[in-house]
Structure 1
């Protein structure tokens, strides 16, 4: 399958080179792999911090929308943060390119939830984002302090992205055990109507992630670069999970600027997915979940 034959793509994790990201540490931290691993070349648009080049790359790779995943963690190691107002401004300025998830500052949850109520009705706001394993104070996804986040998401009819990965925890100043997905099972079972996206798919806890998702039909697995990078460890588990029983709950993401978009799509297509489910992972599953139409 080639890019020219591909369906439109909904990229579930894309941080564009807008000032909100590039003027702080968030964009530079997202470039961790290109800056430290020779196998990650990075995109020309990312190195030049050019939004116009990004749009050209998105168009040529058939990326219809990129999801700006909120990060509002206060003082989380080297991760930095982005204000929700900046995400709202970006999706308002570029509604044909971006969708947004609003971030929750886990050190100031009541204020964040008030802000989310204010912005939730904005066109192209599609969800709420938390990063419990990499905040200033790491916590498990089923921590009692997070119940109001899940309850507001249910009230607003929005899915929640829970970003978990070993590298994310380390960059937040913590050990990799905070990326375990076991506590997400408790959340999914406590709130069976809540749609939960596990961004970064709890890498490297790939097997645990797949089993938790199998047990909980309201969990979506979004491995992004960890299932769109040739030879990366754990990817085969995510692929096998989708091929066997998670074909309707696996989502694509490039994790740009971690990955060049063209490289992410090219590598994704070589990972061994069943050909009949590629369209679902690249577009249909996310479009249905986020209620997006062409």
Structure 2
């Protein structure tokens, strides 16, 4: 069993409402130095090149990944967005493959709380997704005005999934893990998960996670890519105090599904830790073992 805690498949508004697809491949660039760093040496990702969902499902079936968390996206105008109804209907259409986390807008707290209530009642969701650094205006995750959103997560037992890194905000201040620490300490009964692990503030993030037992992470390509700076810190933490609070994720379409899993398995995780990261931690956090 392998669970991918973050993917963005070429499905409906993932394709029609943003810049996820078609994803340029290395051979689309005239000069190798122009290839974005996180796209280098990626192979076998024709579904992203063409924005084709059937190709994606074919790639998924041969990837070794059994289930994926699909996160919606609500960000400022001009950036790729995703309709929450698409995310939730994807789970309804493929309940054995996908779990939906609809997105809420941190800049519209009243609307976010109302959406949480709606999606809990209508779809029985397990979590929500937020990218505070890309809202309009951008918001720090410890802003007190977000407390009603966190309180709603606490009330309904929802995971609050952040995307926090140098790639997820106007500047580095929006991925500073001190803000995660503040929010996690104020709401100790909410499980906060962090995609990208606040990269490049990896050591500071791991310090926050050491103190706050309700903070989880899936560093995705910031851990999976060979020779990625600071990836060794994630691995060391996973083999130590984060073994029950770290998960595998691809962050597709940044990297191909199969390649991401192979590169993750190649990292020096202890054998029993690898099983925790690949599925056991996600199963426990998502309540799948109970069901």
What's the TM-score once normalised by structure 2's chain length?
0.90
Cα drift, residue 137 of structure 1: 1.7
1:109-148 map, 5 Å = 109-123=109-123, 125-148=125-148
2:18 counterpart residue number: 25
Question: Structure 2: how far apart are the matches of 1:32 and 1:155?
Answer: 42
Question: Structure 2: how far apart are the matches of 1:194 and 1:72?
Answer: 21
Question: Structure 1: how far apart are the matches of 2:234 and 2:44?
Answer: 23
Corresponding position: 1:13 with 2:6: yes
Tell me the SS of whatever aligns to 2:100. strand
Q: CA 1:119/1:160 → structure 2, altered by over 3 Å: closer, same or farther?
A: same
Which runs of 5 or more residues in structure 1 are unaligned? 1-7
Tell me the SS of whatever aligns to 1:162. strand
Q: Is the 8 Å Cα contact of residues 100 and 124 (structure 1) preserved in structure 2?
A: no
Tell me the SS of whatever aligns to 2:194. strand
Which deviates the most, 81-90 or 278-287?
81-90
- Which of residues 174, 191, 195 in structure 2 aligns to 1:199? 195
Q: Is the 8 Å Cα contact of residues 73 and 107 (structure 1) preserved in structure 2?
A: no
Question: Structure 2: how far apart are the matches of 1:235 and 1:42?
Answer: 23
Q: Is the 8 Å Cα contact of residues 112 and 149 (structure 2) preserved in structure 1?
A: no
Q: CA 1:33/1:241 → structure 2, altered by over 3 Å: closer, same or farther?
A: farther
Q: CA 1:124/1:115 → structure 2, altered by over 3 Å: closer, same or farther?
A: closer
1:59 counterpart residue number: 61
CA-to-aligned-CA distance 1:112-167 (integer Å, 9 cap, x gap):
32122111145572201111122222221110111011000011111101110101
Question: Structure 2: how far apart are the matches of 1:239 and 1:47?
Answer: 31
- Which of residues 47, 53, 61 in structure 1 aligns to 2:49? 47
Cα drift, residue 228 of structure 1: 1.2
Which runs of 5 or more residues in structure 2 are unaligned? 27-34
Question: Structure 2: how far apart are the matches of 1:279 and 1:40?
Answer: 25
Cα drift, residue 70 of structure 1: 1.9
Q: Is the 8 Å Cα contact of residues 107 and 139 (structure 2) preserved in structure 1?
A: no
Cα drift, residue 282 of structure 1: 0.6
1:3 counterpart residue number: none
Question: Structure 2: how far apart are the matches of 1:16 and 1:235?
Answer: 25
1:225 counterpart residue number: 221
Question: Structure 2: how far apart are the matches of 1:106 and 1:32?
Answer: 30
Tell me the SS of whatever aligns to 2:133. coil
What's the TM-score once normalised by structure 1's chain length?
0.89
Which deviates the most, 90-99 or 119-128?
119-128
Question: Structure 1: how far apart are the matches of 2:61 and 2:43?
Answer: 20
1:252 counterpart residue number: 248
